[in-house]
Amino acid sequence: MGLIVQKFGGTSVGNIEKIKHIATRVIEEAAQGNEVVVVVSAMGKTTDELVRMANEISNTPSKREMDMLLSTGEQVTISILTMALLEKGYEAVSFTGWQAGIQAESIHGNARILDIDTNRVCEQLSAGKIVVVAGFQGVDTSGEIMTLGRGGSDTTAVALAAALKAKRCDIYTDVTGVYTTDPRFVKSARKLQSISYDEMLELANLGAGVLHPRAVEFAKNYGIPLVVRSSIEQEQGTIIEEEVTMEENLIVRGIAFEDSITRVSIFGLTGRLTSLSTIFTTLARQHLNVDIIIQSITDTGTTNLTFSIKTKDVREVLNVLESNKKELQFERIETESELAKVSIVGSGMVSNPGVAAEMFAILADAGIQVKMVSTSEIKVSTVIPDKDMVQAVETLHVQFQLDERMVVKA
Amino acid sequence: MGLIVQKFGGTSVGNIEKIKHIATRVIEEAAQGNEVVVVVSAMGKTTDELVRMANEISNTPSKREMDMLLSTGEQVTISILTMALLEKGYEAVSFTGWQAGIQAESIHGNARILDIDTNRVCEQLSAGKIVVVAGFQGVDTSGEIMTLGRGGSDTTAVALAAALKAKRCDIYTDVTGVYTTDPRFVKSARKLQSISYDEMLELANLGAGVLHPRAVEFAKNYGIPLVVRSSIEQEQGTIIEEEVTMEENLIVRGIAFEDSITRVSIFGLTGRLTSLSTIFTTLARQHLNVDIIIQSITDTGTTNLTFSIKTKDVREVLNVLESNKKELQFERIETESELAKVSIVGSGMVSNPGVAAEMFAILADAGIQVKMVSTSEIKVSTVIPDKDMVQAVETLHVQFQLDERMVVKA
């Protein structure tokens, strides 16, 4: 018994039939005597369709009006799901973001949740109702509708779980849990029973794509156990929490990877140090994400700078660099594409300093050249040739014994 | 200069192209230095589509959740129209019902507007913006979304005009104005330059269908001049106001008509008088509208009762009567279908007592049998055979000289 928050994403609520199915998943929890709050996204392609309509009017539609437009998507889903619950004989009520008391920053299209006034939700839970809340949206202090940006519905669910002191927040998705690595590429990838917030954060940031990093951070800050599980399959998912059981306490818990990476090297920098911050600030402002950064001083006193970017951003990055050439005072730029990033993640690394060295040895044994390296307390990232990516992941997966545990079954 | 409220209905905002066109109509008023508030309905078939989705879930979807669902329709339109205005270089902002301060009764699906808190709208008007408001919706004191029922967007527009002390409320529609009679049936029907609230109310109630009666009543109570005009054609529409100019002060200003009427006669009623009120209350509760009612006492002391109903309601009405037969204590029921109602409307009748007699004479000369009659201060309604309806309207239109005025052009 307790309060559970469930979140169903866009593909889980893709059509009326799927919504009817979701209703049964909601009722399963309610029938066990739990109080249930459900957070849903817009149905399937609804958001794309609304964006298409806006683009027929303008190439640069007002962000405020986009929020007004897009927030209707979740409002449709909450009413349809609530009707489905009522039809099955369960008391239920839907709330938009503003009705659910979700107070957000005044940043259209990318607001963060600031606070939640849970009065209305609590009142309905006390009355024995399932409460269905629109994800992805909130309202600012002037009563303006704000959307939360990508992964916003995950954040809504976790924030509601925190505000309502839920015992668990279940994120229903189209995968059955968090895997040691991407099972589409590595056959022996297996589902993890549990993973820590920090490990999940590293994996999420590395593009594992199951959960939005902001939602994981929120859960970590408020100590809400998160479960990633399938909206279709009944099997048990992966629990994300602070303390991960010893049985699962592998040194390396997951391997993330990403292709289409380009290395950019700037040679013979003689500009002032402030020009470095200028360049990264400028790139950030253009939403050009720079990942691994390596700086080295040469014998002649000039600086060489290397960083990795997404290959699709190469042209824009080079434009920004060239237009700042005068201030930066560099000799030449070199780029290398067809690279990939492969990272191992695991909180066990903190107390095992040899893990990075072991990774390099494994890659060297496989004849894979490491072009760049970056390490954090629970992660080692390497940049290697694109063509070697899958082999690297498979080899690391075996060598770090990620394939040896039994697959966790419900 | 002044404040103008414009209302565009579902067909006027049927698709993106139409919304772009509407934007030019809005800008025409703004460019003349007027403050403009625009009220819009859901786009074309949106409401039907949402209702269809709800019906896939339930045959009797929750009224609360229907309001939640349907209110998204207008929210889409306001954002798209506002984007179109911004794209054309005009400052504009959209508001949902709750954002526009439209406070409604707690009656899902059929709420009336109770009050409007115009602060937010006024603030944006003062900032020089065109304000676009979602029609058909409001919010009750608990923050529940309510829809206003049929004609709700007209009412939103008129209520906003009243609350903002607008100089005029323009109702854009797919007809160019209010006509002396239905031009689809009577070729010589002509557009009226002006008509009084009361005349319009009689015509609206009689099924002229241009404006919702509730909106006309609201305009009358607050003295807001209403203009009915085309969203496509540029020509001048019909103004509805308290004092109609002498030039247009015809005794009969319009002829309304409606087919598929059935007469129901109950003979030999001996029940108590309360049974009469019981029967009409019961019919009303079943949403069975009874129109003209005639009661007569016979020589033998029993009562005969005759009333008109829509032919589609005959079976239900008879069921209600039969199931109350014991209490009503009547001898027999007789029905006559294939009837029509033809009414003449004009405020000039108040001071011209001979108009009803003139109408009967005209119909008698044309060989048309009058089955039932009902009169009010500004209206005379007759029930005649269905087959004679168009001829009756045409003859009355000529005899009351409704075809003689010049057609009003812009």
Is B94 in Cβ contact with A80 (below 8 Å)?
no
Is A385 among the domain residues? yes
- Mean pLDDT value across chain B: 89
CB contact under 8 A, B93 and A64: yes
Q: What pLDDT does A247 receive? A: 46
Closest to A390 measured CA to CA, from A253, A185, A184, A180: A185
Residues B272, B158, single domain; the answer is no
Per-residue tokens: A210: 């199951």
Provide the annotated binding site of B.
Answer: 7-10, 47, 74, 173-174, 179, 184
Q: Which amino acid is at B239?
A: I
Q: CA-CA-CA-CA torsion for A358, A363, A365, A369, nearest 10 degrees?
A: -130
Contact A57/B143, CB-based, under 8 Å? no
A144 assigned ligand-binding residue: no
d(CA B293, CA A298) in angstroms, rounded, equals 104
d(CA A104, CA A181): 34
Question: What's the token pair of residue A259?
Answer: 């292709």
pLDDT at A163 exceeding the cut of 90 = yes
Angle between helices B63-87 and A63-87 (to 10 degrees): 170
pLDDT tops 50 at residue A161: yes
Query: How far is the C-alpha of A157 from the C-alpha of A6, rounded, in Å?
Result: 7
Report how far residue B218's alpha carbon sits from residue B207's, in angstroms, rounded to the nearest whole number: 18
Nearest to B98 by CA among A321, A97, A331: A97
If one counts the domains in chain A, the total is 2
Reference A384, options A400, A402, A403, A362; nearest CA is A362
- Burial class of B238 by CB neighbour count within 10 A (0 to 12, 13 to 18, 19+): buried
- Measured CB to CB, residues of chain B less than 8 Å from chain A are 16, 19-20, 50, 53-54, 56-58, 61-62, 64-66, 68-69, 71-72, 75-76, 78-80, 82-84, 86-87, 93-94, 96, 98-99, 120, 143, 145
- pLDDT value at position B405? 56
Q: Tens digit of pLDDT for each residue in B42-87?
A: 998 899 999 999 999 999 999 999 999 999 999 999 999 999 999 9
Question: Is the per-residue pLDDT at A90 higher than 60?
Answer: yes
- Sign of dihedral through CA atoms B162, B163, B165, B171? negative
Question: Strand runs (DSSP E) across B69-164, as ranges?
Answer: 92-95, 102-104, 113-116, 130-134, 137-139, 145-147
Burial class of residue B134, CB neighbours in 10 A (0-12, 13-18, 19+): buried
Strand positions, DSSP E, B101-247: 102-104, 113-116, 130-134, 137-139, 145-147, 168-173, 194-196, 226-230, 238-241
E-state strands within A118-269: 130-134, 137-139, 145-147, 168-173, 194-196, 226-230, 238-241, 254-269
% of chain B at pLDDT higher than 90: 61
Q: What's residue A20's pLDDT?
A: 96
Average pLDDT, integer, range A111-131: 96
Of A16 and B279, the structure prediction assigns the larger pLDDT to: A16
The reported pLDDT for the residue numbered A408 is 41
Average confidence (pLDDT) over A251-261: 91
Closest C-alpha to B94, from B47, B155, B39 = B39
Domain contains A247 = no
Among the listed residues B178, B182, B190, B191, the one whose alpha carbon sits nearest the alpha carbon of residue B226? B178
Contact B361, B306 (CB under 8 A): no
Q: What is the pLDDT of residues B16-35, one digit of tens each?
A: 999 999 999 999 999 999 99
CA-CA-CA-CA dihedral for B166, B171, B177, B183, to nearest 10: -160
Q: CA–CA distance from B259 to each of A6, B175, B189, B342, B399 (Å)?
A: 55, 21, 18, 9, 22
Domain endpoint, select from B174, B202, B233: B174
Report the predicted TM-score, pTM, of the whole model to 2 decimal places.
0.82
Extended beta strands in B238-358, E state: 238-241, 254-269, 290-297, 303-310, 332-345
A164 has pLDDT over 80: yes
As a whole number, the mean pLDDT across chain A is 89
**pLDDT value, residue A285:** 81
Distance CA B99, CA A65 (A): 14
Phi–psi pair at B7, nearest 5 degrees: -125, 130
CA–CA separation, B51 vs A395, rounded Å? 55
The CA-CA-CA angle for residues A321, A324, A326, to 5°, reads 125
Decide: A169 and A123 in contact? Cβ < 8 Å: no
The answer to the question of whether A222 is labelled as a binding residue is: no
CB–CB contact A57 B98 (8 Å): no
Residues in A touching B98 (Cβ below 8 Å): 98, 143
User: Does residue A268 share a domain with residue A151?
Assistant: no
Whether B207 shows a pLDDT value over 60: the answer reads no
Q: Are residues B270 and B127 in the same domain?
A: no
pLDDT of residue A245: 61
**Segment B82-98 mean pLDDT:** 97
3-state secondary structure of B73: helix
* Domain identity same for A304 and A168: no
Check whether residue B164 and residue B283 sit in a common domain.
Answer: no
Minimal Cα–Cα distance from A87 to chain B, Å?
Answer: 6
- pLDDT, residue A274, reads 66
Residue A279 binned pLDDT confidence (cut-offs 50, 70, 90): confident
Q: How many residues does chain B have?
A: 410
Which of A48-57, A218-227, B196-205, B339-348 shows the lowest per-residue confidence on average (mean pLDDT)?
Answer: B196-205
Does B367 or A410 have the greater pLDDT score? B367
Tell me the pLDDT band of A409, cut-offs 50, 70 and 90: very low
- What pLDDT, in 10s, does the model give residues A198-214? 889 888 766 556 788 88
Q: Give the closest of B69, B84, B99 to A76, CB-based.
A: B69
Sheet of A303-310: strands edge to edge?
Answer: A293-297, A303-310, A254-269, A332-345, A379-385, A372-376
Angle of helix A355-365 relative to helix A389-399, nearest 10 degrees, comes to 130
On whether both B259 and B388 belong to a single domain, the answer is: yes
- Name the more confident of B293 and A172: A172
Asked whether residue A206 is assigned to any structural domain, the reply reads no
Residues B169 and B261 in one domain: no
- ipTM tops 0.95: no
Residue A248 counted as domain residue: no
Q: Is the pLDDT of residue B3 over 80?
A: yes
Residue B371: pLDDT over 80: yes
> Per the structure block, which two tokens stand in for B135?
């029609």
> Percent of chain A at pLDDT above 70?
94
For A49, residues 6+ apart whose C-beta sits below 8 A from its C-beta are none
Q: Is A24 annotated as a binding residue?
A: no
User: Residues A25, A155: one domain?
Assistant: yes
Cβ atoms of B251 and B354 within 8 Å: the answer is no
Q: What is the pLDDT of residue B255?
A: 93
Q: Which residue of B has its CA nearest to A143?
A: B99
pLDDT in tens, A326-385: 877 888 999 999 999 999 998 878 777 788 889 999 999 999 999 998 888 888 999 999
Q: Do A80 and B20 touch (CB under 8 A)?
A: no
User: Is the sign of the CA dihedral B299, B305, B311, B312 positive or negative?
Assistant: negative
The strand ranges marked E within A111-245 are 113-116, 130-134, 137-139, 145-147, 168-173, 194-196, 226-230, 238-241
Rounded to 10 deg, the angle between the B46-57 and A16-31 helix axes is: 40
Query: To probe the interface with B, which of A15, A70, A79 has the most B CB atoms within 10 Å?
Result: A79
Q: Please, which pLDDT band fits residue A291 given cuts at 50, 70 and 90?
A: confident
Phi, psi (rounded to 5 degrees) for B235: -65, 155
Average confidence (pLDDT) over A389-410: 78
Identify from A51, A59, A80 which residue to disrupt to test chain B contact, counting B C-beta atoms within 10 A and taking the largest count. Answer: A80
Q: Which residue has the tokens 């009409």?
A: B280
pLDDT at A249: 56
Could you tell me if residue A62 is inside a domain? yes
CATH of the domain at B63: 3.40.1160.10
Mean pLDDT confidence for A23-30: 96
Compute the average pLDDT of residues A153-175: 94
Are A7 and A142 within one domain?
yes
3-state secondary structure of B152: helix
Tell me whether residue B238 is in a domain: no
Q: Is residue B187 part of a domain?
A: no
Predicted confidence at residue B101, as pLDDT, reads 98
Domain-ending residue, one of B174, B208, B238: B174
A241 within a domain of the structure (yes/no): no
Domain that holds residue B306: 255-399
End residue of a domain, out of B144, B174, B204: B174
Co-location of B117 and B266 in the same domain: no
Residue B408: band (very low, low, confident or very high) from pLDDT cuts 50, 70, 90: very low
Domain with residue A318: its CATH number is 3.30.2130.10
Pairing mode, strands B92-95 and B137-139: unpaired
- Looking at per-residue pLDDT, the higher value among B195 and A84 belongs to A84
Q: Is the pLDDT of residue B410 over 80?
A: no
